[in-house]
């Protein structure tokens, strides 16, 4: 993007002689999406938006799996509506230090003035999970009414994309900036469908940076009316064997968790599954926890896993493991539960040993966690993944997985606008957007 571009954020002021933005007709939006194939639904809605605001083009930019760029998946213009093959584009936009990254971080619509047009960038987000951006190109500067309209459509597109991708591989195809091995494909099926979630009491984000030979890491979470559940596991070995071993444990954990099992009961079930179905020399480490939403009380089981980190009052420390338990699959027995208490403002971080392996020793994890306290967990986990890749010169010996949980308690209720709480977003301003 040109260095001469100028940036304007959504404000309370309006542009002179601003045309009135059309009201969002949710019934029509759902109808046009439902009456077309899942692969075309985003394009059809983008076409509706293009006509309603008189845009030159509307594009869906979807975040790639590496977290480094946006793939321009859908592109509907005034010259060409939907054509077979036209909207599946390979173009990737780098995020680093760009206005696109600034918009993703701030979770606020931005307007960029170019030489002969205006671009509106609106986050496509659902409960804090940043799926991508909606890019709308206009002939003239938009006012706040148009920006609000684009923002609401972008929010609706988040839900539409989540629903449509259940029926097609096209959206996942667009996110794959590197080819997956079979082991990586199996591993990806074990991860939650959204890596980030904002709740009233908390924000959670996870990230898995795979080794060259997939190492069997996973993370997972679920929230119900009473608890936030989270888990992290690391299966021994690499490749398909590790991925299949992880499948056994994650399947057991989800099965018992969905029956409202405690972390101790989940651990017992996973251990039994390993002893029954895995090899005698196979094991899986794990960290299982649940946080009571009413007061921040934690129950957790550590099964041979690295200690979690607690960032409190600006300082990162390892949580003391009073009674660490053996990995799953080592021996029969009942797993003991440890307790802890979160305070409003705390951050809890879980990692696998990919962050602690010998070729990652240059990474001072405690220092990085301390200096990143003002960043959204969504950015923290991706940034630390980038740091471990840099420290190992891209030669990860084992998967590096991280799960970051910010705890607010009742002190800071969520105030979401179009899928995200701007008050929790990372402040990032690009003075000279490129």
Distance CA 69, CA 205 (A): 18
Q: How many domains does the chain have?
A: 2
Co-location of 30 and 164 in the same domain: yes
pLDDT band at 430 (very low <50, low <70, confident <90, very high): low
Residues 109 and 45 in one domain: yes
Shortest CA distance to 374 belongs to which of 314, 328, 304, 420? 314
Question: Using CA atoms, how far apart are residues 109 and 114, in angstroms rounded to an integer?
Answer: 16
Are 133 and 228 contained in the same domain?
A: no
Residues 19 and 136 in one domain: yes
Q: Which of helix, strand or coil describes residue 30?
A: helix
| Residue 194 forms part of a structural domain | no
**236 shares its domain with 301:** yes
- Note the pLDDT tens digit of each residue in 231-269: 999 999 999 999 999 999 999 999 999 999 999 999 999
Cα-flanking dihedrals φ and ψ of residue 74, to 5°?
Answer: -115, 140
Residues 6+ apart with CB under 8 A from 188: 180
Contact between 168 and 38 (Cβ < 8 Å): yes
Report the DSSP beta bridge partners of residue 71: 62, 92
Backbone angles phi, psi at 189, to 5 degrees: -65, -20
Lowest-pLDDT choice from 72-81, 93-102, 252-261, 293-302: 72-81
Q: Could you tell me if residue 240 is inside a domain? A: yes
Using CA atoms, how far apart are residues 58 and 131, in angstroms rounded to an integer?
16
CATH of the domain at 150: 3.30.450.40
Same domain, 156 and 224: no
Do the domain assignments include residue 21? yes
pLDDT at 428 over 80: no
Does 344 map to a domain?
yes
Q: Does residue 395 belong to any structural domain of this protein?
A: yes
The CA–CA distances, whole Å, from 142 to 11, 51, 54, 113, 150 equal: 12, 15, 11, 10, 10
Strands 57-63 and 400-407 turn out to be unpaired
Domain CATH for 318:
3.60.40.10
Is residue 272 located within the same domain as residue 323?
yes
Whole-number Å distance between alpha carbons of 343 and 204: 16
In a shared domain, residues 170 and 206: no
Per-residue pLDDT of 327-371, as tens digits, reads: 999 999 999 999 999 999 999 999 998 888 766 667 788 999 999
Burial of 72 from C-beta contacts in 10 A (0-12 / 13-18 / 19+): buried
Helix axes 239-257, 182-189, angle to 10 degrees: 10
**Radius of gyration over alpha carbons of the chain, in Å?**
23
- Strands, E assignment, 78-174: 92-94, 110-113, 118-126, 129-138
Q: Which residue has the tokens 């910010």?
A: 406
| Residue 49 scores a pLDDT above 80 | yes
Residue 415 lies in a domain: no
- Which domain covers residue 86, as residue numbers? 6-174
Average predicted confidence (pLDDT) for the chain: 88
- The pLDDT tens digits of the residues spanning 404-417 come to 999 999 766 677 88
Span 80-103, mean pLDDT?
Answer: 72
- Which of 111-120, 359-368, 393-402 reaches the highest mean pLDDT? 111-120
pLDDT at 423: 86
CA–CA distances in Å: residue 379 to residues 21, 102, 129 = 33, 11, 11
pTM of the model: 0.91
pLDDT of residue 79: 66
pLDDT more than 90, % of the chain: 66
Does residue 136 sit in helix, strand or coil? strand
Residues 357 and 209 in one domain: yes
Residues 165 and 215 in one domain: no
In a domain, 183, yes or no: no
300 and 375 part of one domain: yes
Both tokens of 183, joined, read: 């082991």
Give the model's pLDDT for residue 9.
53
CB atoms within 10 A of CB 16: 7
* pLDDT at residue 235 in the model: 97
- Whether 73 maps to a domain, the answer reads yes
Same domain, 98 and 204: no
What integer pLDDT is reported at residue 21 of this predicted model?
63
Number of Cβ within a 10 Å radius of residue 67? 20
């Amino acid at each position: 993007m040109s260095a001469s571009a100028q940036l304007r954020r959504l404000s309370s002021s309006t542009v002179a002689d601003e045309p009135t933005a059309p009201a969002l007709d949710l019934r029509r939006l759902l109808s046009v999406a439902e009456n077309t194939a899942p692969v075309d639904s985003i394009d059809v809605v983008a076409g509706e938006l293009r006509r309603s605001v008189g845009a030159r083009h509307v594009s869906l930019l979807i975040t790639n799996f590496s977290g480094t760029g946006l793939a321009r998946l859908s592109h509907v213009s005034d010259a060409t509506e939907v054509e077979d093959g036209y909207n599946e584009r390979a173009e990737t936009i780098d995020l680093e230090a760009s206005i696109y990254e600034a918009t993703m971080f701030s979770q606020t619509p931005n307007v960029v003035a170019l030489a002969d047009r205006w671009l509106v960038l609106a986050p496509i987000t659902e409960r804090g999970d940043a799926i991508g951006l909606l890019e709308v190109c206009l002939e003239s500067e938009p006012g706040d009414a148009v920006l609000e309209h684009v923002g609401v459509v972008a929010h609706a597109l988040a839900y539409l994309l989540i629903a449509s991708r259940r029926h097609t591989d096209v959206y996942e195809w667009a996110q794959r900036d590197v080819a997956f091995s079979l082991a990586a494909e199996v591993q990806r099926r074990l991860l939650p469908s959204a890596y980030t979630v904002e709740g009233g009491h908390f924000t959670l984000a996870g990230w898995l940076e795979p080794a060259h030979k997939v190492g069997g890491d996973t993370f997972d979470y679920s929230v119900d009316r009473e608890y936030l559940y989270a888990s992290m596991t690391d299966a021994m070995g690499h490749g398909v064997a590790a991925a299949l071993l992880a499948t056994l444990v994650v399947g057991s954990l989800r099965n018992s968790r969905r029956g409202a099992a405690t972390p101790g009961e989940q651990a017992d079930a996973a251990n039994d599954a390993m002893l029954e179905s895995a090899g005698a020399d196979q094991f899986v480490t794990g960290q299982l926890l649940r946080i009571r939403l009413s007061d921040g009380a934690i129950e957790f089981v550590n099964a041979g896993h690295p200690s979690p980190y607690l960032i409190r009052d600006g300082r990162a420390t390892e949580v003391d493991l009073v009674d660490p338990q053996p990995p799953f699959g080592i021996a029969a027995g009942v797993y003991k539960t440890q307790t802890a208490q979160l305070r409003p403002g705390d951050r809890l971080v879980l990692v696998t040993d990919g962050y602690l392996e010998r070729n990652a020793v240059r990474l001072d994890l405690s220092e990085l966690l301390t200096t990143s306290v003002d960043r959204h967990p969504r950015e923290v986990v991706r940034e630390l993944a980038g740091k471990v890749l840099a420290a190992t010169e891209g030669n990860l010996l084992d998967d590096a997985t991280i799960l970051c949980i910010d705890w607010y308690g009742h002190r800071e209720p969520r105030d979401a606008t179009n899928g995200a709480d701007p008050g929790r977003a990372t402040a990032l301003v690009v003075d000279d957007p490129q």
